[in-house]
Structure 1
Amino acid sequence: MSIWSVIVAAGKGERFGSYKPLLKIEDKYMLEYSVETISKNNKIEGIVVVCLSNYIQTIRELLKKYNLVKYVVPGGTLRQDSVRKGILKVPEDVEFVMIHDAARPFVSDDIVGRSINAALENGSCVVCVGVNDTVKRVENGFIKETLDRKSIFLAQTPQIFKRKDLLDAFENAMAKRHIFTDESSLMEFQGASPFMILGDASNIKVTYPEDLLLVDKTVSNLEPIHIKEDLIEDKIVIKELNYFVGIGEDIHPFDKERPLYLGGVLIPFDKGLRGHSDADVLLHALIDAFLGASGMDDIGVLFPDTDPKYQGISSLTLLHNVSAIILDKGFKIKNIDMIVFAESPKISSYKDEIISTISNTLNIDKRIVNLKGKTSEGLGFVGREEGIWAKAVVLLIKEEND
């Protein structure tokens, strides 16, 4: 049975502050650690690396010494888009694909070998670690119950599934507009029960700058290590933080002939909202807030409803395009707060999914995204259940050298 690996290195590194795969750790770049370890396994027949498009040539040059790296391709908007692009480069006759995050540079030969053997025997494999702390379920800041930690595990990578099953699952997710943060949750949505093996606490994921302390600790037993970036200069740069606030709001009437999308999530309801795009009133309010904070024209100017190319377009696509613009201008997202005004449907059941969808689209921590649902107590347009109204406030920051 044949197996290839897709190494995902397409994240922008917003939370970390720079492009992590090209972080220099001693004599190698972070990306090289995963490529080198996976290349050592004699069952791996090829590797596809998925990276940011503006680093394609750099990474191709960096990895040309690794014979198993067959393709280096640009990523997509979301993590699942990037993984899918990588899998499409894997030959059709290959049965299994191992997905691994480049942000986990210290995956061991042992984990790679055991995960491959488990997948070949059981049809899939997800590497996990147990939890040592007592686990609580919290609602609105209050502890509701203590969970049995014996049955709770934290998913890592590698994750291995059959190529065909993964592609079918991605197609299904795209059709239903669902977003997943790893391949295991994607396959679970398909009804699968992936096989699990225990990993290693040293298989850390580098997400925030403080994680570099864990990197140093992980390798300290091997040899002294010095973490550095080629762009760091031998001088102190004093940076001034500027804060920018934006407010956005939107309102759409109901339309019985359309589906209802709120925050990028398809809401089961007997009617949707009227509009030129998918009429996602919440995302439209959020987009206007971003545009206002960054000093740009409103959504109607940027994406006019007279332009046929925006007919029926997903507002998640518009949100991603706007976020790319503001990031390019040097802004970083600090906080998002949103309100949906509707008598029905109630959004409380979809709150977590909406927050996850928005945070994944913007590649930000979901802890800085907040959403509330309100009614109008039967008053006005909303009270008569003629439509939905949404508001959003965003806080952006911008660093400038003093």
Structure 2
Amino acid sequence: MDVVTPTTGRAGSADPSGPAWAIVLAAGGGTRFGGPKQFADLGGRPLVAHPVRAAGLACDGVVVVLPQHLLERWTPPAGVLAVPGGAMRADSVRAGLAAVPADAEVIVVTDAAHPLATPALYRAVVAAVRAGADGAVPGLPLTEVVKEVVPQVGAGGRTDLVAGASLPRETHRLVQTPHAFRASALRAVHADATEAVEDSAMVADAGGRIVVLDGEPANIHVTTPEELDLARLLLKHVQDEGEPDEHSAARLSAV
């Protein structure tokens, strides 16, 4: 993957490469969270509403993928399509792809677990694909040492063996969403795959060029109730400034 400097675009600007659509994945059961976190409150809105809104400010259309039995629980904004997901993440991506119009040239894949990604980040990954990449993902440099921990069971019970080698910080990134792809590349790998893994890896394995842009420190991954509390603190920090949404989003990316 190439590491590049992000660029920004403007939603609705004329672009010969065609429309950009976003798929917001929110069909998970929230096992680690303890329930369907996509409807947890964040700043007076359901968690899923935040990426839907940010994607809508940067893309021409949005598809949100929800659990079949929860489709009626939240009414998406006008113009946003809601479709039922599947048992696995890849099934939900494919459900979203089926709802994205055939003329879309760029497809963004994101999730409810990254509610604080700003519209500027969505625009950046879309712009990178429009500039020629097959895919674009945001990532942060490693600031902590990452070690492999191997569980060991002995006579005295479980102990953990820490391997000596660490991941090199220079060549590894903590990858966030949203991800953007050339639509034909993403559709092709999902059509051919029998077992899907992470989308950017699939496109890269098929010969596509994936670029890594600068991520946003405040774009945290909400997996646990404690991380949701942190997201609430980050969001409150910018809301307390009393600024318009777009300015607040810019401040959030700098937190």
Contact 1:22 1:31 in 2 (8 A): yes
Backbone CA RMSD of aligned residues: 1.7
Query: Could you tell me which of 58, 66, 71 is aligned with 2:73?
Result: 58
The change in CA–CA distance for 1:87 and 1:36 in structure 2 (over 3 A counts) is same
> What is the total number of aligned residue pairs between the two structures?
213
State the distance in 2 between where 1:20 and 1:14 align: 9
Q: Give the secondary structure class of the aligned counterpart of 1:39.
A: helix
User: 1:192 corresponds to which residue?
Assistant: 208
Name the aligned partner's letter for residue 163 of structure 2: I
Matched, 1:77 2:97: no
- Where does structure 1 lack aligned partners over 5 or more consecutive residues? 225-402
- Equivalences for residues 283-298 of structure 1 within 5 A: none
How many Å apart are 1:198 and its aligned residue? 0.8
Query: Could you tell me which of 55, 78, 81 is aligned with 1:38?
Result: 55
Matched, 1:208 2:224: yes
User: 1:98 corresponds to which residue?
Assistant: 108
The change in CA–CA distance for 1:220 and 1:75 in structure 2 (over 3 A counts) is same
User: 1:166 corresponds to which residue?
Assistant: 186
How many Å apart are 1:137 and its aligned residue? 4.1
How many Å apart are 1:213 and its aligned residue? 2.8
How many Å apart are 1:162 and its aligned residue? 1.8
User: 1:231 corresponds to which residue?
Assistant: none
Query: How much identity, in percent, do the aligned residues show?
Result: 27
Contact 1:104 1:203 in 2 (8 A): yes
How many Å apart are 1:139 and its aligned residue? 4.8
How many Å apart are 1:40 and its aligned residue? 1.7
Name the aligned partner's letter for residue 103 of structure 1: A
User: 2:168 corresponds to which residue?
Assistant: 148
State the distance in 1 between where 2:87 and 2:167 align: 35
The change in CA–CA distance for 1:196 and 1:68 in structure 2 (over 3 A counts) is farther
Contact 1:33 1:106 in 2 (8 A): yes
Where relative contact order (Cα < 8 A, 6+ residues apart) is larger, the structure is: 2
Name the aligned partner's letter for residue 99 of structure 1: V
Q: Give the secondary structure class of the aligned counterpart of 1:161.
A: strand
State the distance in 2 between where 1:137 and 1:17 align: 27
Name the aligned partner's letter for residue 189 of structure 1: D
The change in CA–CA distance for 1:113 and 1:53 in structure 2 (over 3 A counts) is same
User: 2:236 corresponds to which residue?
Assistant: 220
Query: Could you tell me which of 139, 142, 150 is aligned with 1:131?
Result: 142
How many Å apart are 1:121 and its aligned residue? 0.5
State the distance in 1 between where 2:119 and 2:186 align: 24
Name the aligned partner's letter for residue 171 of structure 1: A
State the distance in 1 between where 2:163 and 2:31 align: 31
Contact 1:9 1:49 in 2 (8 A): yes
Q: Give the secondary structure class of the aligned counterpart of 1:83.
A: helix
Query: Could you tell me which of 33, 52, 55 is aligned with 1:16?
Result: 33
Q: Give the secondary structure class of the aligned counterpart of 1:221.
A: helix
How many Å apart are 1:138 and its aligned residue? 4.6
Greater strand share, 1 or 2?
1
Contact 2:138 2:178 in 1 (8 A): yes
- Where does structure 2 lack aligned partners over 5 or more consecutive residues? 1-16, 152-160, 241-255
State the distance in 2 between where 1:205 and 1:53 align: 24
Name the aligned partner's letter for residue 74 of structure 1: P
TM-score, normalised to structure 2, is: 0.78
Query: Could you tell me which of 49, 60, 81 is aligned with 2:64?
Result: 49
